[in-house]
Amino acid sequence: MEFISQFKKTFTSGKTRSVEWRHGQLLALKQMLEENEKSIYQALHDDLGKCEFESHISEYAFVLKDIALFLKKTKTWAKTRNVSTPLLLQPGHSKITPEPLGTVLIMGAWNYPLQLVLSPLVAALAAGNCVVLKPSELSVATSKLLAELVPKYLDKSAVAVYEGDVAATTELLKQRFDHIMYTGSEAVGKIVMRAASEYLTPVTLELGGKSPCIVDNNTNLKVTAARIIWGKFINAGQTCIAPDYILVTPLMREPLIKALQQALIKQFGRDPKQSEDYGRIINDRHFQRISGYLKENEERLIIGGQTDKKTKYIAPTLIFNPELTSPIMEEEIFGPLLPIIEIASMDKAIQFINDREKPLALYLFSNDDLTIKMVKNETSSGTLSINDTLTFMLNSDFPFGGVGHSGMGSYHGKWGFDTFSHFKPILHKSFFADMPMRYAPYSNWKQKI
C-alpha cells in the first residue's frame, strides 16, 4: 500500500498544515459534488433505490452544508489559543495549538454511503490530515463513483479511496494509521478496535443498536405518528438512528396504531411498492435477514408484511408485541419493520430501556414536563430527541456519536475538527527568574518554600 508511505511524506512536508491547503481541498470537494450531482443521485438510487429528495437532504446537501461550515470556521478553529499561566510558571506563557494527527482512515457503512465517508472527510481535511477513505463494498455504485471522482478533484498526495471486500479491508487494517474512524456494526467495530490496538491507534466508533421510541399518553398524536413513520421508513428503515421499536401504554396503543396507519398511507400510499419515494433493501443477505424477522411474526402483523425478492422490496410493516426474546427484539432491525410494544407505564418504559445496551438515539414523544424530566435524568443514550426523529442530525453544534455499545467518540461541526486534531499545550518559559529551590539537594525543603 504505497499510498500510505506517500501520505507520510506529504504529512511530514507540512503541506497539509496550511489553512490554504485545507480550504483548497474543501473547495475541490464542493466542486466535485456540484459537478457530479446527477451521477451521485444515480449511484444512490442504484444502491438503495433512494429517491432524489431523500438523497439530496440526507447525503448530498448534508455534506455541502458541512463544507460551508468548515470553510467558514476552519481558520478560527485551527488557531493557537492563549491560556492563563499560573504564578508558579511565570515568567512564561501558555498556549494550546490544535495540530493534525497524520493519516486518518475513514471506514463508512453502506446505508448512507456518501455522507458517512464524506462528512468525516470534511472534518479530517479541515483539521489538516491526510485521509484514506474506505467506502462500504456493499454500496457498490457509490463506492465505485467515489473511487473515480476523488482522485480527479482532491490532492492525490494526501487523499485516496481504497475499495475492497472483507479480505482487502483486513489487509488495510494491518497498516499503521494515526486515527481510525469506523461507522458500521458493533461486531466489526470490535475487529477494527483490535486491529487499531496493534499500533495504539485511537479510534472513533460510530456504531448502531436498537434506538427505542417512547410514546407518552400526553402527546400530539398526529404529529407523533407522522414523525415516527418518516424517521422509521426513510431509506427503508436502514438508518442507524431510526426508531427501532415503540413503547406505548395500553391506553394509547389503539389510537397510536390508527394514527401510524394513517400516516403510513399518507406518506407512501396504500401500496408503498408503487411509491417512488420508498427505498429498497441493500442486498440479498439483508433481504433474507429482515424476511426472517417477518416470518417469525406473521401472526402479529398489523399492516404491511409484503415482500418481493426480485426487487428487494419489503413493505413498511407494523408488528404488535413480538416476543422480547426473539431475534427481532434482540438484534438491531435495520429494515422497515416497526414493533410496537405495550408497556404498563413510563417507569416501566425507562426500566425496559435501562435493561438493555445504551442506544445511539432515544426518542420520546411527550407534552408532559415531568415525563420529559424523568426520561432525561434516568436514561443514557447517544442523543435524546424529544418530539422528533432524526432531525437532531441537522444541528452541527451537537456532537454525533454513541455511548457504551452504540459507539465512542463523536463528530459533526467543531466536534469533528476536534476528533481529528491533537490539542497540544505549549509552555514557553523565560530563562529569567530561575527558582533554585526545585533542584536537588532537597534537604531543609520545608524551610525553602
Residues of this chain that bind ligand NAD (CB under 6 A): 107-111, 116, 134, 136-138, 166, 169-170, 183-185, 188, 191, 206-208, 240, 332, 334, 360, 402, 407
Contact present, 300 and 318 (Cβ < 8 Å): no
Q: Which is nearer to ligand NAD, 180 or 252 (CB)?
A: 180
CA–CA distance, 107 with 104 (Å, rounded to integer) = 10
Distance in Å, CB of 266 to ligand NAD, minimum? 27
* DSSP notation for 260-299: HHHHHHHHH-S-GGG-TT----SSHHHHHHHHHHHHHTGG
CA diameter of the chain: 89
Cell numbers for 207? 456504531
Cell numbers for 188? 466489526
* DSSP notation for 48-91: H---HHHHIIIIIHHHHHHHHHHHHHHHHHTS-EEE---GGG-S
- Annotated catalytic residues are 206, 240
From residue 205, give the alpha-carbon distance in Å to each of 121, 208, 211, 241, 423.
15, 10, 17, 15, 20
Minimal CB distance residue for ligand NAD: 208
The number of beta carbons lying within 10 Å of the beta carbon of residue 123 is 28
Q: Which is nearer to ligand NAD, 334 or 420 (CB)?
A: 334
Q: Which is nearer to ligand NAD, 37 or 163 (CB)?
A: 163
Distance in Å, CB of 363 to ligand NAD, minimum? 15
Cell numbers for 103? 493519516
Q: Which is nearer to ligand NAD, 160 or 225 (CB)?
A: 160
Distance in Å, CB of 326 to ligand NAD, minimum? 18
Distance in Å, CB of 225 to ligand NAD, minimum? 23
Distance in Å, CB of 277 to ligand NAD, minimum? 21
Total H helices, total E strands in the chain: 17, 18
CA 83 to chain centre: 32
Q: Which is nearer to ligand NAD, 25 or 235 (CB)?
A: 235
Distance in Å, CB of 113 to ligand NAD, minimum? 8
